[in-house]
Amino acid sequence: MKLLRDIRWLLPGGLLLLLTACSGGQEQATSNAAGDEQRDVSLTLYSDGGAMVRDRRELGLTAGEQILMLGGLPHTLREDTLFVQTERADVLSYRRGGVPADRASLWRRHLGESVTLVHEPPGGGSRERDRAGVLLGITDRHPLVQSEDQILWLGPDSPWRMRLNADQQMPGPWALALALDVPRDGQELLELRYRADGMAWQADYIAVLNESASLMTLTAHAGLINRSGHDWKDVQVQLLAGEPRDASDRGPQPMRAMAAEDAVSREAVGEFHLFSLPRRVDLADGERLRVPFSTAREVPVRKAYLTEYPAGRQVSEVVDAPVETRLSFSNIASGLGEPLPAGVVRFYTRDSEGQTQWLGEGRMGNIPTGQRVELSPGRAFDISATRRQADYRRTGDRETEISWQIELANARDESVTVRVSENFEHPTLILAQSHEHDRISSSRIDWPVSVPAQSTVRLDYRVRVRH
């Protein structure tokens, strides 16, 4: 006596295909039945790579032990993170499986079903119209089909090829073989939870400065990245800012834009911040979807100029040191005051004709509420620094005296303050100076120097460095 068991395939479009497996013979397709439309899927994307997927499916099942084949899963699903929860049924086991190893195995599932024959004559001769047929069997791994009172063996030399109908296609390469014990007939709610690679999100910001660079409008965007090999349809998306630890030590295009009609909500989750998009989205494989995140207007900005140098080494030549423009703002201003995820900030302004011009960009880390942000979009064009080492001498086994002359030139029509930041790498004592300093640490000293319009000012100092 042959033992039978049900095998059910849930196809991506919500179609439930029922198969009967015989312990003593081949599998035979018995019927097709419409299942409930697949599901409710939600994603949590992580800024350092990967996603947490919650996939809820409601199915009509019959009582008894059975194997349910669930398709529509991404290739990058991490099997070690998979967890299945049911409403009534007991989960006996689950594993990757259910994909026919070759075409003959796939065809064997559809014995006795209608198929389509396509004429492909050798040498590109005239084609006949397509024919309807019935798949009778598999002989020497090739189909045997009855069509128009003929029985055709579609071997290597046959001009006919068999094509399965759309509703006979099996799930893709990743299918879940889920063994269940269902207590009674009826609807069953399944929830799959797993992590998948190939997805991530990144924050980026557009900062539009006014003419004097004293105020800006800051717009945040979230870039949703999908390289999972799977198209996600009508999914709810949350974005986690932070870096949860992954014990497995896995590491983390043209862009489509989406209008933000509602505000993005935020909540604290453990040590991280979770942002929820207000609308469900479609995210195709290979796509990067850009979503406006938030906008803050008239944010106060402070502009400064900085030149940095490793001043503790011996230098014989005159050095032209770059002067960087620094733009800073506090995360407490109007419209801000919320945690800002790490990302690139791109600065723009408008010229005299109202055209938007790019000024440069800088990358900031995760910024908590209340913290000040300082970024360098580029070098100053009209402000320069030239430095000459006036003296470098050993005064002991572990001491060196160093003298520097730093000439600061300002070609602008307004006065500026340039912060000269010197890093000596070791504890340093100031012996003489032409301008007052700010001590940042035992080895780093800053000199803020005011330079009038169209003028040059020289900073002189002498220090003793203890090695």
* Range picked from 10-14, 170-174, 402-406 for highest mean pLDDT: 402-406
Instruction: Convert the pLDDT of each residue in 344-393 to its tens digit.
Output: 999 999 998 889 999 999 999 888 888 899 999 999 999 999 999 999 99
Q: In the predicted model, is pLDDT for residue 435 greater than 70?
A: yes
Which amino acid type is present at position 235?
V
| 166 SS3 class | helix
Q: Which residue has the tokens 């007939």?
A: 185
Counting residues of the chain whose pLDDT is more than 90, the rounded percentage is 46
DSSP state of 106: H
Spatial strand order in the sheet of 160-163: 150-153, 142-147, 131-139, 114-119, 160-163
CA dist 355 and 93 (Å) reads: 63
- The string of DSSP codes covering 21-81 is EETTS--EEEEEEEPPP-EEEEEEEETTS-EEEEEEEEEEE-SEEEEEEE----TTB-GGG
pLDDT reading at 257 higher than 70: no
| CATH class of this structure's domain 383-466 | mainly beta
Dist. CA 403–CA 401, nearest whole Å = 7
Cα separation, 53 vs 331, whole angstroms: 32
Please, what is the Cα angle at 315 between 309 and 318, to 5 degrees? Answer: 80
Per-residue pLDDT averaged across 327-345, rounded? 84
Which of 48-57, 110-119, 214-223, 424-433 shows the lowest per-residue confidence on average (mean pLDDT)? 110-119
**Mean pLDDT value across residues 226-239:** 90
Q: What percent of the residues of the chain are helix, what percent strand, and what percent coil, each to the nearest 5?
A: 5, 60, 35
Percent of the chain with pLDDT over 70: 79
**What are the residue boundaries of the structural domains of the chain, listed by start?**
4-40+54-99+171-193, 112-164, 199-204+217-298, 383-466
Q: What is the pLDDT of residue 138?
A: 84
**The token pair that represents 178 in the structure block:** 């889920």
Q: Kindly compute the dihedral angle of the four CA atoms of residues 97, 99, 104, 107, in this order, to the nearest 10 degrees.
A: 120
Query: How would residue 157 be classed by pLDDT, with cut points 50, 70 and 90?
Result: confident
pLDDT, residue 177, reads 85
Nearest to 206 by CA among 354, 380, 359: 359
